[in-house]
């Protein structure tokens, strides 16, 4: 039986999210696979997993150029371009943002039924400034397109657009007219995030609490993810607002016990939960509990943003 090729081994490492080993495997064989789109895709995903945004964008761009008909490559190239836009100066950021938009649009064109790709494009239009290609009217049109594919997902996307527009009247009108939405955690989570943006953390915590108290189907992974988001954001609001600290600590402790990082890859990972929990412990002057989280986190985390935050703390 033939030994697995480097790309076959790389695919297995990708499944395991072992990004350091993935990168170590692929970099020495670059000359062998320089015209192989899947090679550059896997190398780009490794760089993204290691928070090397510049390398990720470069490699994923190469993958998308070598195989422009692969929607997955276009999507991840878009994601990497958006990430890189946040890590360069304003003069360069616009170029990366436009590449992000165009790559997401290409992914949607290739696979219009893929709601994840539609959502990525809509969120770009919601959050990017108009000078960088953002257009909230376009985001609302995408939500209407998605509603034709999946009514609930289209309505949820429209809610996000209304929050981005700070159009609470439209938000509440949509929720009030939809029995589907009224039974979901997303409206509470979105209201809470809106209150966070207004620095109204007491109100945010109240909204997140209501989301956590809903009875949801444990097989509805989207709803489960939203409830987990509510637990995490409750803790974050307690930290940022320096309010209801015990409630914030309990929320993050619960989040840590419930989070399946393999299944919910888009949620804040355990490292971020540990950091936020440690920061709450420090506000409570529970230095030893904070240190018990921060010392192993500092030794193991590969996320430079987390390490920078740890270095700012006095422990």
Average pLDDT, the chain: 94
pLDDT value of position 120: 96
208 close to 232: Cβ distance less than 8 angstroms: no
How do residues 254-291 score in pLDDT, each as one tens digit? 999 999 866 787 899 999 999 999 999 999 999 999 99
Contacts of 280 (CB under 8 A, 6+ apart): 235, 238, 239, 245, 248, 249, 252
Sign of the C-alpha dihedral, residues 210, 186, 229, 87?
negative
- Residue keyed to tokens 């840590």: 256
Does residue 1 surpass a pLDDT of 70?
no
Element (H, E) at 124: helix 115-127
Please tell me whether residue 34 adopts helix, strand or coil conformation. coil
Q: Give residue 63's pLDDT.
A: 98
The pTM of the full predicted model, rounded to 2 decimals, is 0.79
- Residues 216/228, Cβ–Cβ less than 8 Å: no
Is pLDDT above 70 for 39? yes
Using a pLDDT cut of 70, give the percent of the chain over it: 99
| pLDDT number for residue 51 | 87
Query: Any idea which residue has 């436009």 for tokens?
Result: 98
Q: What is the DSSP letter of 2?
A: P
Please name each of the domains of the chain with its CATH number: 183-310 (1.25.40.10)
Model confidence pLDDT, tens digit, residues 8-26 = 999 999 998 899 999 999 9
Q: Which pLDDT value is given to residue 302?
A: 79
**8-state DSSP, 3:** P
In whole angstroms, give the CA distance from residue 62 to residue 137: 31
Query: Does the pLDDT value for residue 315 go beyond 80?
Result: no
Closest CA relative to residue 41, chosen from 66, 23, 59, 18: 59
> Tell me: the pLDDT tens digits for 222-253?
999 999 999 999 999 999 999 999 999 999 99
Give the span between the Cα atoms of 150 and 77, in whole angstroms: 26
pLDDT of 2: 67
Question: pLDDT per residue over 92-102, tens digit each?
Answer: 999 999 999 99
pLDDT value at 216 more than 80: yes
The predicted model gives 49-68 an average pLDDT of 96
C-alpha to C-alpha distances, 30 to 42, 183, 209, nearest whole angstrom: 12, 51, 50
Distance CA 80, CA 100 (A): 8
Kindly write down the DSSP assignment for every residue of 148-191, as one continuous string: HH-HHHHHHHHHHHHHHTT-HHHHHHHHHT-HHHHTSSHHHHHH
Q: What is the mean pLDDT of residues 192-216?
A: 96
For the record, the structure tokens of 214 come out as: 């809903």
pLDDT in tens, 108-149: 999 999 999 999 999 999 999 999 999 999 999 999 999 999
- Checking if the pLDDT of 86 tops 80, the result is yes
Task: Please classify residue 170 by burial: count the beta carbons closer than 10 Å to its beta carbon, then call 0-12 exposed, 13-18 middle and 19+ buried.
Answer: middle
């Amino acid at each position: 039986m033939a030994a697995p090729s480097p790309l076959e081994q790389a695919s297995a490492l990708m499944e395991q999210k072992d990004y350091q080993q993935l990168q170590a495997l692929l970099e020495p064989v670059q000359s062998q696979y320089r015209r192989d789109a899947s090679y550059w895709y896997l190398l780009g995903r490794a760089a993204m997993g290691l928070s090397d945004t510049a390398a990720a964008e470069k490699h994923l761009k190469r993958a998308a150029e070598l195989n422009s008909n692969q929607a997955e490559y276009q999507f991840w190239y878009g994601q990497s371009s958006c990430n890189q836009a946040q890590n360069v100066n304003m003069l360069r950021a616009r170029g990366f943002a436009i590449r992000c938009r165009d790559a997401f649009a290409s992914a949607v064109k290739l696979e219009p039924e893929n709601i994840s790709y539609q959502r990525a494009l809509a969120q770009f239009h919601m959050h990017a400034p108009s000078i960088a290609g953002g257009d909230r009217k376009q985001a609302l049109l995408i939500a209407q397109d998605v509603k034709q594919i999946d009514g609930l997902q289209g309505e949820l996307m429209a809610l996000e657009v209304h929050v981005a527009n700070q159009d609470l009247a439209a938000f509440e009108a949509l929720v009030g007219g939809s029995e589907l939405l009224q039974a979901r955690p997303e409206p509470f989570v979105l209201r809470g995030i809106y209150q966070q943006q207004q620095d109204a953390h007491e109100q945010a915590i109240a909204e997140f609490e209501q989301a956590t108290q809903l009875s949801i189907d444990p097989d509805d992974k989207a709803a489960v993810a939203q409830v987990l988001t509510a637990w995490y954001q409750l803790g974050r609001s307690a930290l940022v607002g320096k309010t209801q600290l015990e409630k914030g600590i309990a929320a993050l402790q619960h989040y840590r016990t419930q989070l399946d990082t393999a299944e919910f890859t888009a949620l804040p990972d355990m490292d971020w939960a540990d950091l936020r929990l440690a920061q709450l412990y420090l506000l409570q002057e529970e230095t030893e509990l904070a240190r018990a989280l921060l010392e192993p986190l500092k030794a193991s985390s590969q996320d430079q943003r987390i390490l920078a935050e740890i270095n700012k703390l006095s422990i």
